[in-house]
Amino acid sequence: MVDNEQARRIMAEVVEIARAFEMSGRRQRAAGITGTKIGILNQLKRDDARLTAIADTLGVSLPVASRAVGALEAEGYVIRRTDPDDARASLLSLSPIGVDYIRGREVQFIARFAEQLSDWNDDDAAQAEAALARLREPILATLTPVPDPRPAESAQ
């Protein structure tokens, strides 16, 4: 069984990886690419969606999602069309330019990552993949809100 110190070290590594993604996102925003825009493009890569569903999935407000979608439409990456199930609503889709852009980013990112793993063998990769898959659920369970440990009257 994993003890508290081992759990602390594992979580510290996960936090460092999360920080690396956060720092990368900051650098990309400085280059004019926002996390919200990339999140929208990645979501639309999987399937067309309504603006409200995109905002919910990304955990952003509707006005934030709306501004990002508007910018993506103006840049030609996203197309808005009438939802066939509800003519009052719109569905958002990737345009051909958007598809090319998000696929190109993914190919470039994966190639860079594979290059960093060039000294790994198949067993190394399989072990890392299995360990990360096993970590997903415990991490998600840990990140749910934790009750305040203080007695109820002092927590106010």
What is the DSSP secondary-structure string of 30-74?
HTT--HHHHHHHHHHHH--B-HHHHHHHHT--HHHHHHHHHHHHH
Does residue 131 sit within a domain?
no
pLDDT of residue 30: 60
34-82: pLDDT as tens digits: 789 999 999 999 999 999 999 999 999 999 999 999 999 999 999 999 9
The CATH number given to whatever domain includes residue 79 is 1.10.10.10
**Band of pLDDT at residue 138, cut at 50, 70 and 90:** very high
Does residue 66 sit within a domain?
yes
Does 17 score more than 60 pLDDT?
A: yes
Span 109-138, mean pLDDT? Answer: 95
**Band of pLDDT at residue 155, cut at 50, 70 and 90:** low
User: Same domain, yes or no, for 24 and 97?
Assistant: no
User: Same domain, yes or no, for 63 and 114?
Assistant: yes
User: Same domain, yes or no, for 14 and 69?
Assistant: no
pLDDT of residue 149: 81
Rg for the chain, CA atoms, rounded: 20
Residue 80 lies in domain: 34-126
Between CA 80 and CA 89 the distance in angstroms is: 10
Task: Identify the sign of the CA torsion 42, 52, 63, 48.
Answer: positive
Between CA 88 and CA 71 the distance in angstroms is: 22
